[in-house]
Amino acid sequence: MRKSFSAVLALVVTIMVVSHGHADEAAVRRTLGQYVEVFNQKAAEKVGAFWTEHGTHTDRESGERTEGRAAIQADMTRVFEEQGDCRLSATINRIKFITSDVADVEGETTVVLSDAEPIVSAFTAIVVHQGDKWLIDAVEEFPLPQPTSSAAGLKELEWLIGEWVDDSDDVRVSTTFRWTANQTFLLRSFEVETKDGLAMTGTQVIGWDPRRRQIRSWSFNSAGSFGESTWTRGGNSWFSKTSQTLATGDVASGTFVVERMNHDSFTIRLIGHEVNGEAQATGEPVTLVRTTQKPASDSTPQKN
């Protein structure tokens, strides 16, 4: 499952890389747009056309190796049939053009599924220019190195530290992220205010789970609800897959998508929202803006 997704997504990021001066930018953008459209249609045969005839994929963790466009296409057919709601994203870490027609790409891929934990992998890809197309010729996928401490595991979320505010409509939401004294956890506290005054407060504890090898969080708010989440990175976004027990006893679930826009702003939106298994309307993204410099950890003395 993972190998097929990562191989295909490696193609997406590879096409994006090619646009940096090594091919006609307009043509590359058209190719990328066509690929995205084909993938969203779950058209395995058309996806297969983006590979060279003898393209290969190797999963270094399992040792599996898939050889040839036909075999890769068969994998994609099976994946699309079993997981038609998949979401893909990627991060490019390094690009090197070996020749004008051959590029080496390194990066990370994330696959988000509705009924399973997100899958994160590192990859290297070789792409070649054949005729008037860039095609993927080889992909190797392997597990990401694991953090050696809680602080290291949370390092990628350190940019959240600070005070943030959202003034949408008649509601103001103030949020603060800070380290605990020993930098074992990140703490998030928030307040929701309406024209009538303070409506709700809440706390979230974010930590690194060394057993599951992923970021997890636990949240509690003054209305009486509580929940837990698992976090997975995909490019500039984080996917927080959440389950929650409401104060009424109802059960809610969904995925919060946190997308970093720049140093001083990020957006958050809820997708796949359900209450007691019934789908709920998807809201618009909310933008939070930084209001101060990063606060220190809990150990910082407070001024009188």
Structure confidence at residue 20 (pLDDT) = 46
How many beta carbons lie within 10 A of that of residue 21, not counting itself? 7
Concatenate the DSSP letters of all residues of 132-167 into one string.
TEEEEEEEEEEPPPPPSSHHHHTGGGGGG-EEEEEE
Residue 19 confidence (pLDDT) above 50 = no
| 173 vs 270: CA distance, rounded Å | 16
Instruction: Write out pLDDT tens, residues 151-166.
Output: 888 999 999 999 999 9
pLDDT band at 293 (very low <50, low <70, confident <90, very high): low
pLDDT above 70 covers what percent of the chain?
76
Pick left, alpha or beta for residue 152 (phi over 0 → left; psi -120 to 50 → alpha; otherwise beta).
Answer: alpha
Instruction: Write out pLDDT tens, residues 48-100.
Output: 887 889 999 888 888 889 899 999 889 888 878 888 777 666 666 776 667 76
Which of 111-115, 250-254, 297-301 is most confident?
250-254
Residue 229 confidence (pLDDT) above 70 = yes
Query: Can you tell me whether residue 52 is helix, strand or coil?
Result: strand
Q: Are 40 and 64 a contacting pair, CB within 8 Å?
A: no
* Residue ranges, CATH 3.10.450.50, the chain: 2-142
pLDDT band at 182 (very low <50, low <70, confident <90, very high): confident
pTM for the model: 0.55
* Residue ranges, CATH 2.40.128.20, the chain: 150-290
Structure confidence at residue 44 (pLDDT) = 87
Of 144 and 265, more confident: 265
Q: Give the DSSP letter of residue 188.
A: E
pLDDT above 90 covers what percent of the chain?
32
Both structure tokens of 267:
């957006």
Domain 150-290: CATH superfamily, name plus number = Calycin beta-barrel core domain (2.40.128.20)
Residue 245 confidence (pLDDT) above 80 = yes
Closest Cα to residue 124, out of 6, 15, 41?
6
Q: Are 159 and 260 a contacting pair, CB within 8 Å?
A: yes
Query: Which CATH number does 2-142 carry?
Result: 3.10.450.50
Q: Are 244 and 227 a contacting pair, CB within 8 Å?
A: yes
